[in-house]
Structure 1
Amino acid sequence: MGDDVKTRGQSKVETSDRIVRAAEVEFAERGFEGAGMKAISQRADVSQALLHYHFGNKDHLYSEVVRRRSKLINTERQALLEQVDLTASDAVERILDALFRPPLGPAGGDQSYTRIFGGLIVGRERDRALVKEFYDPTAQEFIRALQGALPDISQKTAAHAYTLALGTLVVMISRDGRVERLMGQREMRDTEEILQGLITFAKAGIMALATQED
């Protein structure tokens, strides 16, 4: 009865959104195995029955968390990538900006999703399947863009470059305190400074790979 009263004035979409936001935090803090449907229902302030009504089981809820967040990230990535002139001298930098900026900004969520994002890249079979479904199509667009900006590199090299650049991003957004500790400072630098460091480093690596083409 209590949940009926609380959600009476809310649409199914609003309730669903609240559950997904709560689940994102729970999965980030405890991982998939440690997260519990009861804990998620408590965070979302809904009954477990309502939670199961909306999402069925934990696998489906986890998939929905990744699907919704990846859509926000990839929509912004694609919009930025479409603005890149692949014939311009700064094309590689702008491609990398389009890759890195969304996960570091509002589309990437807060610290919660950064932990999930990092886990997806090195995750188990469940995570690999979600990456394939929700991230690979956009990844292919970036690989083609790199080939357009650097016409002499192969798809293999462009894919290698993309993967290494993404790995660098994951380290920077992990927010586990190690980067700050190694840098000898207490707080992460501002987003623009982080972006410029990522872009400079990744571009240098991409150009070095390009020179190794057979």
Structure 2
Amino acid sequence: MAAHFSTKDRILGAAEELFAQYGFAGTSLRQVTSRADVNIAAVNYHFGSKENLVNEVFRRRMDEMSERRLALLREAVARQPGELEPILAAFVEPALALAQDRHGGGAFIRVIARAYAEKNDGLRKFLSDRYGHVLREFAKAIAVCVPGLSKEELYWRLDFLAGALTYAMADFGLIKRPAGVSEAAHRQRAAQELIRFAAAGFKS
């Protein structure tokens, strides 16, 4: 059984690296099989299609992140009801932790950037169907903290937060990690600043 999993993981890892490098349209299944050192039958057996392989690359990372977000959200609402910052922290911190993941987290962030750039409708539908409930839970919790915002304003601001978070995850920013500051400390600072920025945006 272990070999079964390792083949699947090898294919996912190879696909993630290639999608990061060449994009979805620019990556062929032949490249994936070559890098993973498997035959095309293995890809078809585990995934069935290239589209499904793309979806699984996301699911492998995002299922865990979404569960972590929702667990922290429940904790924040229970411990500090009506407080906006802990809710935003529950949204921001698991995503920045994923970006720092030593096991290919960086490649996955580039895959997310590709998803924004390539406007892949199938992938967007998959992400919306599978993870839309996470955004809705956050929107509900934020709405309690800022009752003056209309639903439309709330979703605009949540969308901007998601965009800013993706930018922070990709480390596109002008603020590089200073010498002598650990990655964990730099990530914590980025999270703090983004949470404060977002809180001001939701409250204005």
> What TM-score range do you get, normalising by the shorter chain?
0.7 to 0.9
Runs of 4+ in 1 over 4 A off after TM superposition: 184-189
What is the rounded CA distance, in whole Å, between the counterparts of 1:108 and 1:67 in structure 2? 18
Corresponding residue number in structure 1 for 2:106: 111
Corresponding residue number in structure 2 for 1:141: 137
Deviates more, 1:125-134 or 1:95-104: 125-134
Q: How many residues align?
A: 196
What is the rounded CA distance, in whole Å, between the counterparts of 1:106 and 1:183 in structure 2? 19
What is the rounded CA distance, in whole Å, between the counterparts of 2:147 and 2:178 in structure 1? 42
In the alignment, is residue 151 of structure 1 matched against residue 143 of structure 2? no
CA contact (8 A) 2:54 2:123 kept: no
In the alignment, is residue 200 of structure 1 matched against residue 196 of structure 2? yes
Kindly indicate whether structure 1 or structure 2 has the higher relative contact order, using CA contacts under 8 Å at least 6 residues apart: 2
Structure 1 unaligned blocks of 5 or more: 1-8, 209-214
What is the rounded CA distance, in whole Å, between the counterparts of 1:108 and 1:184 in structure 2? 14
CA contact (8 A) 1:66 1:130 kept: no
Q: Identity, % of aligned pairs? A: 29
Corresponding residue number in structure 2 for 1:168: 164
What is the rounded CA distance, in whole Å, between the counterparts of 1:57 and 1:11 in structure 2? 21
In the alignment, is residue 128 of structure 1 matched against residue 124 of structure 2? yes
What is the rounded CA distance, in whole Å, between the counterparts of 2:141 and 2:57 in structure 1? 28
Corresponding residue number in structure 2 for 1:97: 89
Deviation of 1:72 after TM superposition, in Å, equals 1.3
CA contact (8 A) 1:108 1:114 kept: no
Task: Please tell me whether Structure 1 or Structure 2 has the larger radius of gyration of its CA atoms.
Answer: 1
In the alignment, is residue 82 of structure 1 matched against residue 74 of structure 2? yes
Structure 2 unaligned blocks of 5 or more: none
Structure 2: which amino acid aligns with 1:197?
E
Given the two structures, how large is their TM-score scaled by the length of structure 1?
0.80
Deviates more, 1:128-137 or 1:30-39: 128-137
Of 32, 36, 61, the residue aligned with 2:53 is: 61
